[in-house]
Amino acid sequence: MPDVSVVIPTTGRPSLAEAVATARAQQGVSVHLVVVCDLAEVPTGVTDLRDQIDEIVCTGGGRRGSYARNLGVRHAAPGSHIAFLDDDDAWLPHKLAAQLPVLERLAGEGWLPVVSSRTLQRKAGSSPLPTAVPTTLIADGALPEDYLFRRRHLGVGRQSLPTSTLLTTADLARQCPWDETLPRHQDWDWLVRAARIPRAKIVQIEEATAIYTVGSPGSISASADWRTSWDWAQRWEGVWAPETFSDFIAAQTLRYAVQARDGEGVREMVRAIRRNRPPSARNAVLAALGLVPRSALERVAMRGSRTTGGGDPLQADGTR
């Protein structure tokens, strides 16, 4: 039986070939590879990879990543664990071999584990930066929203739990399906809800196991859509700690509203912050960066990353 079923949603991007190849090349672990096309039919680019893929299924088109991942989980091999990989990311050869012993040890202790890792980040079309990120890993017992949003670090090393690092058990994957209504923040939402299932445990190993791509063509993370982020955040007001909620609003929705020069949005986000707590200094700085055109920030960040290993303070939004 395969150790791990790998679920890759795709809309047929050319980068899928690399994702498939790196999943197939995992060392010391048997995989069952499921590619889910969010299209009406299988595109030629996927058909060309058929000899490397165990199952190819289609959503019918336009159902988005969460639906595709849920469909992929339903096609997982019996008895296997579940790993997620986005079609513009890639895995390092030891990815699953490094995570699987941690997952199985925790599962043997009665946990429903999710195992993440560090990554190497790259801009689309560029080589990865040399430094593994994030700088700080999630602490034992920490809630994912507190880790991800509170006092966020500036720069490429900020807190993250990218989808393409996630390995979990079939039990947890089925108890916690991805929310198919969300156009944005699908991975954050899944982690926040998964952590609230009894005996769930989210851990992050120190080594980098995946290459995470920022700025892929068609990525929704590049848009200043404060309303969609706000719709999602309102689900969690009163559930998250007030400090965490305000830090999310400042760094995410307020920043987007400022970037869009939307006065109504700015006023609504300020009111939301006042209902909770003042944001941390770090997150207030991120909100203010909405005044700077994103293209200018990216030019500065890329010059800095080549000389110092730094990066765009707006990267790794977790908004796929």
CB atoms within 10 A of CB 89: 24
pLDDT (tens digit per residue) in 4-18? 999 999 999 999 999
pLDDT (tens digit per residue) in 257-289? 999 999 999 999 999 999 999 999 999 999 999
Q: Does the predicted model carry a pTM greater than 0.85?
A: yes
- Could you tell me which residues come within 8 angstroms of residue 216 by beta carbon, excluding any fewer than 6 positions away? 13, 15, 88, 124
The mean of the pLDDT values for the chain is 91
pLDDT of residue 223: 58
pLDDT of residue 312: 44
Residue 307, pLDDT > 50, answer no
pLDDT (tens digit per residue) in 142-156? 999 999 999 998 888
Of 20-34, 144-158, 231-245, the poorest mean pLDDT is in 144-158
Q: Please state, in angstroms and rounded to a whole number, the distance separating the CA atoms of residues 22 and 95.
A: 10
In the structure, what pLDDT confidence band is assigned to residue 218 with cuts at 50, 70 and 90? low
pLDDT of residue 302: 45
In the structure, what pLDDT confidence band is assigned to residue 309 with cuts at 50, 70 and 90? very low
Residue 209, pLDDT > 60, answer yes
Residue 85, pLDDT > 70, answer yes
